[in-house]
Structure 1
Amino acid sequence: MHRKRILVTGGAGFLGSHLCDRLIAAGNEVICLDNFFTGSRDNIRHLLSHDLFDVVRHDVTQPIHLEVDEIYNLACPASPVHYQRDPVQTTKTSVHGAINVLDLARRLHVRVLQASTSEVYGDPEVHPQPESYWGKVNPTGFRSCYDEGKRCAETLFFDYNRQYQLEIKVARIFNTYGPRMQPDDGRVVSNFIVQALSGSPITIYGDGSQTRSFCYVSDLIDGLIRLMNTPEDVTGPINLGNPGEFTMLQLAELVVELTDSRSPIEFRPLPEDDPRQRQPEIERARTALGWAPSVALRDGLVETVSYFRSLLAQR
């Protein structure tokens, strides 16, 4: 059987590192490309000595010169804390990065998958969100560098598909959590767990009634790989996320229970353009990929709490 040589941009990140693990476990050769702006060598340290794994330190905003059989484009800061730190670079990573990845795929005549996001739906007026919904996004706000950057990247992928017949796959990723999240990334799951384990107040923005849907990382990676291996005419976009919907208050209370924490819950003002609801419609994933998440929130949180407990103990 032919061993694929697969490029994973953003391969040292939370999702990217888990994807590298799975691809190598399946017998593929993997090149992890990362500039380590938010990625971490700790996430891939266990792979550094593996014969099937290579690391290339590189920024996707610059042209890429590699020979590969398949490309997963996961390069981009994905939490508000990180992508708002350098919003111009965030937009460049989404747009210039997409162009460079697509040009590489076009030169090599290989299939390429774009890790898009549920943020393309903005603060949705349709609930749950199907792929046919075009979204409600502020083009000039603090979150726009990420939201609009990812929307433009989707446009580029479909234009390359139509104009150059490039084989593309587009996944819209909803909230994902699990081991290797960064403790300071500002995402709600890592925030709540770190606050609970350290005895700090658990901060909820808004009144706690806004909802999210949380997908465990192993389920998400399975969805990405299934999408990559669909027939050529399955381009997406396809939602990948867990349709189970929870309020922020429910999540906070569950984290307190699982950590046996005495942290109080504090309410703070809701940030600008923060979506009130977020829940994926996943019928397209069920039909085209035979995929649905299998890890319950409680079970995934147990694993994630264990990871953060160990991480904080080391520090």
Structure 2
Amino acid sequence: MTITQLKYILAVAEHRNFTVASEHCFVTQPTLSMQIQKLEDELDIIIFNRAKKPISLTEIGEKIVIQAKTIVEESNRINDIVDQQKGYIGGEFKIAIIPTIMPTLLPMFLKTFNNKYPKVNLQIEELTTEECIKKLIDGHIDAAIAATPLENPKIKEKPLYYEPFIGFVPDYHKLSHKKKLTVNELDSDDILLLKDGHCFKESILNMCSSFSSPNAKSFRLESGSFDTLIKLSKENLGMTLLPYLHSLDLSNEDKHFLREFEAPVPAREVSLLYNKSQLKMQLIEALKTTIDGIVRGAISFNDVKIISPIAQKKTN
């Protein structure tokens, strides 16, 4: 039994196809099949039911896959232990960021991180929160940045900052005369939201749930991007809410429509996520330290109204 054989088993268990699994393992399909067959013969069991399409795991196969994940993770931990002992921060590091955070946060920290840790091969992709969780649990990414709390027992969350909501209220709107908004003035039937699958939408719905009219209609319009919501709002289709950092990139003309909230200001918690069995802790800490520094610097020097976890604790 070898670690390589176990990795092949995990690949087939995930993709339910020998050809696809071999492509992800960068070996030929006959090589992968032969190694799995060799292990099955050694153990005198059948791991995969090859007669079914897609391929399925046998009862004993299900148990072996669970144990194989543990063994492969622990074998990878050896390299992690060595890297930490040497103080080495480098290698491949895969991170996912949700769509409502990536466009504003990534430009803030990417150049600084790359300059500080040139030996890290940072691979970044944009995923929904649900996709982030699945890939973290399956071990396909090392970390993610998303709105929290998620309360998933398999995921650890390290808060990075707290980002306020800000209203985008066009001149025609009933709240346009207000210098500052309050949460109890919001009408969920009048707010343009992102499509299902965006956690930002859920944050808004949770914030408005206590103040919605019992006869409120379903949302008239939902979009996949903040830019579209802004355009629709300017066409008299309703107000919308934005994360604060997104509002910084608006034109001076559009900033005229922004309305901040009175205290206590509603905000979303943005956190760094990783699997509880995560190996690359030195890289996770390096990323968190970099973003922490960017956030504190923005607060200190640029009057960016986001709140670091340290500042949050001081006010509680």
Q: Normalising to structure 2: TM-score of the pair?
A: 0.29
Which has the higher relative contact order, 1 or 2, with Cα contacts under 8 A spaced 6 or more apart?
2
Q: Normalising to structure 1: TM-score of the pair?
A: 0.29
Q: Which has a greater percent of helix?
A: 2
Of the two, which has the highest radius of gyration? 2
